[in-house]
Structure 1
Amino acid sequence: MEIKTAEAKDLIAYLRSPTAIRERCGQVFTWVNAGQSPHFSCDLTQLGKVADYVIEVMRCEYPNLQIPFHSRWRHFEAKGVPRLAQLNTQLAELTPLEKAAAKFDLAIISVLLDAGAGDSWRYYEQETKLILGRSEGLAVASFQMFCQGTFSSNSLPQADAFRLQTLTEIELAKGLQVNTENPLVGIFGRCKLLQKLGQVLISSPHLFGDKNPRPGNLVNYLWEKSQNQQLAAATVLSLILEGLSDIWPGRLEVDGVNLGDVWQHPAVADDGFVPFHKLSQWLTYSLLEPLQELGLEITGLDTLTGLPEYRNGGLCLDLGLISAKYPEIFNSSYSVASEVIVEWRALTVILLDQIAVTVREKLGMSAEELPLVKILQGGTWTAGRKIAAELRTSGEPPIQIASDGTVF
């Protein structure tokens, strides 16, 4: 897309902001509600019913409503196994900043491997004899690989550029227990993502260090960015989008800059760009806890948006907040760039904000007491999985997405 350099710089900065996500998704939402979409309609009278369902799930999962953040750290303790104690033991001799860097390494690698696993794949954890699928399976698999030093040149629980660049698809498949009987969607794409991460780490020494470039060295940069022991959540997202934008394959570009999780939709005037940054925001949420462990206060939590992925989007479809205008929509598989998926995701972003407001009103809680990141955890993601399992035997999302292992 040909845009003058000064304009391009401003557009790129805008498209990397949570403000742009809400504004552009809002344009799609308005367009759909004006009856202009051939694919979907919205029924906001269902908000109360959806909020009640989410609250029921929240009370079941967290009876006292003391809900942690929606982040990768929840999945590392899948099935109630205290795996993080194992990691903390391994990191016991490190300084607080070094521990945080290792946890950054783990979270970044694990989130980048966290695209949809498909219905068939399972991970068998030898230590516990547990069999785990989907996001929890990927979390535990990547956790065990990390603790074994798979992503490190020196076999430590770390990740570094040199090892990531040489990681092979065969090695990754072995660690994730992938074979013909246990297929994983997008294994090639996941491996390429980690290899590309290794290259990006070397190309940005100011963010990732020059002697031994690691994803976790971002913690040093963020520590220096903090003021009075405070750090804005949007600052973390901005840094992730700046530092990791080049890892995403085959995406839209402006002035040679990779936009990442940004797609196009006819409801948006001029350039048509609709940003989501789903994995980057999921990663941001997952990096906040190691920063809090360092004693930093995270401000502006609700600046970030809800995550436009198939559990949250499925909740809206399965409970009638979003309705499909033709039945065939459920019988096809769509690319992430398709108008159907872009529209579904955009509606999800806006509806998650509205669900959050309704949930808080019903519980008599403020945004400070119950920020969006906790409602997602409590919450909409879990509720989306629950209703999917009730309606479809495999628990799959209502609309099928052709994943390349790098978006969902």
Structure 2
Amino acid sequence: MTNLVDYLRSPKAIRDRASQLFELAQADKLAYFRLDLTQLDAVADYVIAVMRQQYPDLQVPFHSRWRHFEVGNFPRVQQLEQALKNLSPVDQAKAKFDLVVPSVLLDAGAGDRWQYLESSTEQTWTRSEGLAIASFDAFCQGAFSTQPYRTDAEGLKQITPEKIAAFFQVTPENPLVGLEGRSHLLRKLGHTIKQFPDLFGDSPRPGNLVDYLRHQTHQGELSAVTVLNAVLLGFGDIWSGRLSIDGTNLGDVWHHSALPGEDTDQLIPFHKLSQWLTYSLLEPLQDLGITITDLDQMTGLPEYRNGGLCVDLGLLQLKNLQLAEIPHSPDSELIVEWRALTVCLLDRIADTIRTKLDLTSDALPLVKVLQGGTWTAGRKIAASLRPGGTPPIQISSDGTVF
């Protein structure tokens, strides 16, 4: 089964299995969704308009956690770099890994009531930006270690819901969705990285992954898929209550009965948070002069902003509209369908955008289309259609999937 686990951890498996559901959708043989590919041009035009508004010169950065740290045009990352200036470039990269790993893992949906007051700017932030700034401040104050500007196994193992609540300003009047799930995830991270000294060192911290990845480079180049593989191997055991094969936790992998074959043939991987974490780890590596390759082997992120864009603009249509009125769990076949079709549609949206802009995949890789892009467009259309910008389909999440 080791080969199967390796396969299910690959971007190829994500596209393979999602494409099987996409083919069924094209034949209108899925239970929950139908496709309307005649809307593809209109969706691409909508995303391009959003992209030009955000990035008039089309110089789009990666879709990563670093964008959230930049919100409001405040120089938070520059301030962090100033605090780290006495460290070597490699140690600075390690500190950035230590910041971004827990920050990404804390970034499942916050709900529409939570907000965070940033003391240094006196600005109030919500949703992903709020979670980013809260986790940034927590990191700088030593929330994930015994010292500031560091995350390590011992610090993570001490995380409690109460500690997260204190750093994230959570009160009965300011509730954060999935508080228990988030704190459990960080504690699991602390225990898990101790099991992989080759990846995280003898004094385990996420930042030590920098050393491992530097040794995986070839002539100054590193495949994004190599980074994803390290993320899935090193962090795979943190996900609770997920499917497993021979004791190996599969993570963001789900079952859909419409796929032919045995049970394992009906498994569909997504690895949404792991891919977004991978995208977020690439920039500190680039700062070390490493060239990242194979970006487009990675997939788009099947979450409610990208998926919501496809639903709100008519590319995807829910067959039973009443199902939009009730929440669905991440393991429901409706949600699995939605996410799989989103993966395939993001590839098609990206190709259509590149054709319209006369750009290559090297000039506008998928990770930039997401940033420019589909995620922002999904949030924009949601805000125009529903109070609070909620997604078109409700998800019951424990804070570890979306």
TM-score interval for Structure 1 and Structure 2 normalised by the shorter chain: over 0.9
* Alignment-derived partner of residue 102 in structure 2: 109
- Deviations along 1:73-101, whole A, 9 cap, x unmatched? 00001111111011001111111110001
Partner residue in 1 for 2:159: 167
Matched, 1:83 2:76: yes
Give me the whole-angstrom Cα distance separating, in 1, the residues matched to 2:80 and 2:216.
27
Q: Secondary structure at the match of 1:59?
A: helix
Pair 1:138 & 2:131 matched? yes
* CA positional deviation for 1:267: 2.3
Matched letter for residue 397 of structure 1: P
SS in 1 for 2:162: helix
Q: How big is each residue's C-alpha offset from its partner over 1:158-213, in whole Å with a ceiling of 9 and x where there is no partner?
A: 10000100112111110011110000110000000000000011111111111x21
Inter-partner Cα distance in structure 1 for 2:385 and 2:160: 39
Q: Of the candidates 383, 386, 398, which is equivalent to residue 389 of structure 1?
A: 383
How far does residue 336 in structure 1 lie from its aligned partner after superposition? 0.2
Matches within 5 A, 1:210-359: 210=202, 212-269=203-260, 270=262, 271=264, 272-359=266-353
Quote the residue 2:11 is aligned against.
18
Identity percentage over the alignment?
Answer: 59
Q: In 1, distance between residues paired with 2:342 and 2:50?
A: 19
Name the aligned partner's letter for residue 207 of structure 1: L
The one-letter amino acid paired with 1:135 is S
Which AA in structure 2 matches 1:215? P
- Offset at residue 152 of structure 1 (A): 1.2
Deviations 1:240-263 (A, max 9, x none): 000100000100000110000000
Normalising by the residue count of structure 2, what TM-score does the alignment of the two structures yield?
Answer: 0.98
User: What are the Cα deviations for residues 371-392 of structure 1, in whole angstroms up to 9, with x where unaligned?
Assistant: 0000000000000000000111
Structure 2 Cα separation of the partners of residues 369 and 89 of structure 1: 31
Q: CA deviation at 1:334?
A: 0.4
The DSSP-based 3-state class of the residue aligned with 2:241 is coil
How far apart are 1:28 and its partner, in Å? 0.9
1:203 aligns with 2:195: yes
Q: How far apart, in 2, do the equivalents of 1:23 and 1:238 lie?
A: 17
**Is the contact made by 1:27 and 1:267 (CA closer than 8 Å) also made in structure 2?**
no
Give me the whole-angstrom Cα distance separating, in 1, the residues matched to 2:271 and 2:89. 29
| 1:59 alignment partner in structure 2 | 52
What is the rounded CA distance, in whole Å, between the counterparts of 1:202 and 1:325 in structure 2?
47
Which one-letter code corresponds to 1:279 in the other structure? L
After the TM superposition, which parts of structure 1 deviate over 3 Å for at least 4 consecutive aligned residues? none
How far has the Cα of 1:156 moved from its partner? 2.3
Give, as a single letter, the amino acid of the residue that structure 2 aligns with 1:228: Q
Q: Distance in 1 between matches of 2:173 and 2:342?
A: 34
Give the secondary-structure state (helix, strand or coil) at the position aligned to 2:215. Answer: helix
Paired with 2:397 and 2:346, the residues of 1 have a C-alpha distance of 23
Distance across 2 between alignment mates of 1:400 and 1:365? 35
Q: How far, CA to CA, are the matches of 1:54 and 1:266 in structure 2?
A: 33
Q: Number of paired residues?
A: 399
Q: Which amino acid aligns with 2:298?
A: L
SS in 2 for 1:68: coil
CA contact under 8 A between 1:268 and 1:274: conserved in structure 2? Answer: no
Inter-partner Cα distance in structure 2 for 1:38 and 1:267: 9
Corresponding position: 1:405 with 2:396: no
Please give the alpha-carbon distance, in whole angstroms, between the structure 2 residues aligned to 1:178 and 1:31.
Answer: 44
| Partner SS for 1:388 | helix
Gaps of 5+ in 2: none
Q: 2:30 aligns with which of 10, 29, 37?
A: 37
**Corresponding residue number in structure 2 for 1:3:** none
Letter in 2 for 1:22: R
Distance in 2 (alpha carbons) for counterparts of 1:228 and 1:124: 45
Code of the aligned partner of 1:62? Y
